[in-house]
Chains A and B, each alone.
Chain A
């Protein structure tokens, strides 16, 4: 992962917490990873491990009562300089020009990601007008072009339709078109295929891959689906309870997982070669609520390689193990 080129986006020790009456939820608790230009970074983990909040933190659109409490999010600009997004005013002009301009977002809910009372075009053209100095006519032309580029048939007509007139797959394509309309250098796709049926999923993933190759854009793909990761990602970040537990290239992660959590995740996928009528291994227990985070390594209560007196006493740090790989586990210290 450590290449000579600067990473496009570098997240360092990011911490985002939600301050509620019941207490503070540390949704993201010290996550660090890099997104290389032109590459796809897959972020994988169970529900509630802070994947989506990480994406929202990068765009600085975490809903109240959530707030970034520490860390850095370094975005490399086109001139090579680096901007720390955490230091920018969340609703300030610079952050707004990055949002939708440099970084596009595709959401997991194509049903509700569009306003029900505005046309697709209104929301698409709006984004174009916001980030480019163009006439409304030119913006509309670009909007139609964007819809065409994501494979929506008859874009001239579709642009004036409402989201509920489109099928789920077309809606997600339209969503991608909005995210791509201003040529972002990074596309964050948060569970882009979760709400779609399997055939449509494959189409949307193909589309994302095609667009990425054409534009040389970086993609940060958030999913809980390891199959999607295997198919799409160059590098993988495995998250557990708001932390990165392992990071590496997709081959390393799938063929030589280091962290017990990653191993357990991979074992729980049914394979075509697995013995019939044998129970699929599962990870025992369930992900603890971030309120009562276990002391020490957050994974230790469910871990098969738990070292008593060590794992429940201190938290392992993310350390390099070999070429471009990082893992946070005492087994490798």
Chain B
């Protein structure tokens, strides 16, 4: 059991390192660097940047050094907890990301709670009463949810919210609170704004989860241990909830790992449409500007989140499934 944890931990560290190399390489793949795109944007606004200035800027940012040196320097900074400067913003990366990361987490968690809260009961119902009228209804709605792209749903929800309810649907805060320091009122304001992005982000996942839960549970319901539980005289509710549902839930635990990055990266366009102050739009901007410190940090953070999430779900799975705990299939 300890060996299992240690092995997972070692693998996690290796994976994080591999992600750092990959994310660094990906950022360097497009031709040019931050200075090129800086010059382009300056000339677009009418002012020219001389060759000398550009060279000086490259030197100042360390962009003139070989790529391996750049990587090592970056890693060195990372290890000290310093994520470098966001070039475009002229502020430390941690400053730029900080709040947005928290809000991203809040929205993601809200979306996940929505997804699970809706999908699991419906999935259980659909499996216990397969091919019933309501099962078909849920399947129909579920597939529609799966088929509609998130940004379109966001637009529709915004329109409906604005036209029929007069709600201010964009963003996560009312204008009064957007720049205000954190307070109880601001948190309440955030809570009121949360449902719409959570639902929009959660709908596709909900449909998927319903299908997975339904088929998992249908398989489990046919197993003999369900019949023996019934033969013991348990009530039907307890038979279903205590045994097959419990077993069918195990695969979900292992999805916790990639849920977070999935929600973050899947939400970029939705976040733009709903003008949510999350990490997604920031990443997009940083990639366009070739701001390697900012983009690199975000990609690396997403990677690390996945790895940590997977590690946690491995531990959880070990806790809920004795077959893994004892190293059996």
Contact = CB atoms under 8 A, between A and B. Distances in A.
Interface in B303-329: 320-323, 326, 328
A130 interface: yes
B227 A100 contact: no
Contact of B231 (A105, A109, A162, A165): A105
A123 interface: yes
A97 B233 CA distance: 6
Minimum-distance CB pairs A-B, first 10: A100-B233, A105-B231, A100-B232, A99-B233, A127-B232, A96-B233, A112-B224, A91-B236, A115-B225, A113-B228
Contacts of B246: 115, 117-118
Interface of B: 222-225, 227-236, 243, 246-247, 250, 320-323, 326, 328
Given A105-B228, A112-B224, A117 B321 contact: yes
A306 interface: no
24 contacts: A96-B233, A96-B234, A99-B232, A100-B232, A100-B234, A104-B231, A105-B228, A107-B227, A112-B224, A113-B224, A113-B228, A114-B228, A115-B247, A117-B323, A118-B246, A119-B322, A126-B232, A130-B232, A162-B322, A164-B323, A164-B326, A164-B328, A165-B326, A175-B228
B149 to A, nearest CB: 36
A123 B232 contact: yes
Nearest to B221: A63
B230 to A, nearest CB: 5
A115 B247 CA distance: 8
B37 to A, nearest CB: 54
A126 B296 CA distance: 54
Contacts of B224: 107, 109, 112-113
A302 interface: no
Nearest to B320: A117
Contact of B225 (A97, A99, A112, A165): A112
Nearest to B325: A162
A56 B225 CA distance: 14
B79 to A, nearest CB: 41
Contacts of A126: 232, 234
A100 B223 CA distance: 19
A101 interface: yes
A91 B236 CA distance: 7
A118 B323 contact: no
A324 interface: no
A175 B235 CA distance: 19
Given A114-B228, A131-B233, 20 more contacts: A56-B227, A59-B230, A61-B227, A91-B235, A100-B232, A101-B233, A104-B231, A107-B228, A113-B228, A115-B225, A115-B229, A116-B247, A117-B246, A117-B322, A118-B246, A126-B234, A130-B233, A164-B322, A164-B323, A165-B326
A127 B231 CA distance: 10
Contacts of B230: 59, 61, 99
Contacts of B323: 116-117, 162, 164
A94 to B, nearest CB: 10
A97 B234 CA distance: 9
A14 interface: no
Contact of A114 (B225, B235, B320): B225
Contacts of B227: 56, 61, 63, 107
A68 to B, nearest CB: 15
A16 to B, nearest CB: 15
A204 to B, nearest CB: 16
A91 B229 CA distance: 13
A178 interface: yes
Residue among B243, B247, B250, B322 with the most chain A CB within 10 A?
A: B322
Nearest to A128: B232
A123 B250 CA distance: 19
A56 B233 CA distance: 13
A69 B233 CA distance: 22
B247 to A, nearest CB: 6
Contacts of B232: 99-100, 123, 126-127, 130, 178
Nearest to B250: A117
A130 B234 contact: yes
Contacts of A101: 233
Contacts of A178: 228, 232
Residue among A99, A115, A130 with the most chain B CB within 10 A?
A: A115
B20 to A, nearest CB: 37
A186 to B, nearest CB: 12
Nearest to B322: A162
A115 B240 CA distance: 12
B76 to A, nearest CB: 46
A117 B225 CA distance: 11
Residue among B228, B230, B243, B320 with the most chain A CB within 10 A?
A: B228
Contacts of B250: 117
B233 A127 contact: yes
Interface in A97-149: 97-101, 104-105, 107, 109, 112-119, 123, 126-127, 130-131
Residue among A104, A126, A131, A179 with the most chain B CB within 10 A?
A: A126
Nearest to B227: A61
Contacts of A164: 322-323, 326, 328
Contacts of B236: 91
Contacts of B320: 117
Contacts of A127: 232-233
Residue among B224, B233, B320 with the most chain A CB within 10 A?
A: B233
Interface in A154-171: 162, 164-165
Contacts of B231: 59, 61, 99-100, 104-105, 107, 179
B225 A113 contact: yes
B299 to A, nearest CB: 37
A61 B225 CA distance: 13
A162 B225 contact: no
A119 B321 CA distance: 11
Nearest to B225: A115
A196 to B, nearest CB: 15
B164 to A, nearest CB: 43
